[in-house]
Amino acid sequence: MVFSATLLVACKGPEGAVESATAGAAPALPVQIKEVQEQDLPLTLEVVGQAEGSKQVEVRARVTGLIERQRYQEGQPVRAGAVLYQIERAPFEIALQQARAQLAQQQAQLEQARREYERLRPLAESRAVSQREADSAQSTLQLAQAAVALAQAQVREAELNLSYTTVTAPIAGISGRSLKSEGALVNPSTDSLLTTITQVDPIWVRFALSEAEVARLRQSGGTQVRLTDAQGAPLLGPGKLNFAGSTVDVSLGTVPLRAEFANPQQRVLPGQFVKAHVELGRVRGFLVPQSAVMQNEQGRMVWVVREGQAQLAPIQTGGWHGSDWVVTGGLKAGDQVILNNLMKLRPGAPVTVQAAATAPAASAASQ
């Protein structure tokens, strides 16, 4: 029986031996790759920011009265100085007339006191009347002058209160919801808020960076910021940093920053969340899709194809460019980075390249 089995194997010849060896080897895993090329790339940081108006004011009533008319349309742009509300004028017109009448009365008394003093002064000098009478006339004149000054101030106050019955927009911007309706009674001391106006062109975007990121930003001298929506589509033209905090938030370890953007078509509204891309200068590196980069306690790494086998390559990253990592170390031009089947790979495992996704350097650098 042993002889027969040996003879049977021998009769299969060399082709049978090759088939047995092939059956015992692990099959090559099909993978997709990207052949990377070194490029001159903008180095950016992507953070979530929130928009806010560059100016926001509360429009308040400054006199007590009934709102006779609302003169603006809620949610629409208004220019600086535009009339928003009209508060009843009649009580303040009457108060102004009374103040002017009081002023006229005080001015008449002033003229009488001046004539009396002018009459008594030469008589006192010639001792025709006592000095006491002359001093009394002088004091009466001074009191009349003070009463006229007070009456003039009261007229000015009445004129100012009358002007406050016409409520105007202090700045140009987008009007808010009216908090008071026509016929409502407003009081400047207890219930004065009427509406708000927000200036959205330019618009500001607030965000925060870590201490290390702020240090890199200051070192690079970069001030340009771009905005995109959740899908990565551009929102506005490039903006610039206009504020950087001088202290670190001890609870988060971040520094607040703010950028300003032209927003003539109101594409970004206050309160809206956006993605801010802060430029930190330019760097030589490779673009690697985010999905191809793995991370553990030793750092970031990618799988690359070398001599038909999968090998792990530790990398150093410098930030983001679009949805790709900017790899500044660990790769060389022409390396084939594996894009899929990452969880199935093992160091030294044979792989078969299915298709290459090559991004030309020129097109990537122009993004």
Per-residue pLDDT tens for 161-203? 999 999 999 999 999 999 999 999 999 988 899 999 999 999 9
**What's the pLDDT score for residue 14?**
45
DSSP output for 231-249: TS-B-SS-EEEEEE-SS-B
Collapsing DSSP to helix, strand or coil, 184 comes out as: coil
The predicted structure's pLDDT at residue 301: 93
Could you give the 3-state DSSP secondary structure of residue 205? strand
Q: Scanning the structure block, which residue is given the tokens 């090329």?
A: 37
Q: Do residues 304 and 338 touch, judged by C-beta distance below 8 A?
A: yes
CB distance 324 to 317 below 8 Å: no
Distance CA 204, CA 183 (A): 37
pLDDT of res. 42: 79
* Burial letters 278-310, b for 16+ CB under 10 A, else e: bbbbebebbbbbeebbeeeeeebbbbbbeeeeb
Q: Which helix (H) or strand (E) holds 358?
A: none
Q: How many CB atoms lie within 10 A of CB 271?
A: 10
DSSP states of 126-175? TTSS-HHHHHHHHHHHHHHHHHHHHHHHHHHHHHHHHHTTEEE-SS-EEE
Residue 78 token pair: 């208004």
What is the three-class DSSP state of 59?
strand
Domains and CATH numbers, the chain: 32-53+199-365 (2.40.30.170), 59-197 (2.40.50.100)
Q: Cβ distance 63 to 165 under 8 Å?
A: yes
- The per-residue pLDDT for 3 is 35
Q: Quote the pLDDT of residue 135.
A: 86
Q: Residue 43 carries which side chain, given as an amino acid letter?
A: L
User: What's the sign of the alpha-carbon dihedral 338, 342, 347, 348?
Assistant: negative
Q: Which of 162, 196, 169 is nearest to 180 (CA)?
A: 196
State yes or no: cis peptide before 202, omega within 30 of 0: yes
Contact 331, 315 (CB under 8 A): yes
Nearest 5 degrees, angle CA 98-CA 104-CA 105?
90
Residue 177 structure tokens = 């919801």
**C-alpha dist (Å) from residue 299 to 137, 146, 329:** 96, 83, 12
Closest to 173 measured CA to CA, from 104, 80, 302:
80
Residue spans of the chain under pLDDT 50: 1-23, 357-367
Q: How far apart are CA 310 and CA 314, in angstroms?
A: 13
The C-alpha atoms of residue 222 and residue 216 are separated, in whole angstroms, by 9
Radius of gyration of the chain (CA): 41
Residue 25: the pLDDT is 58
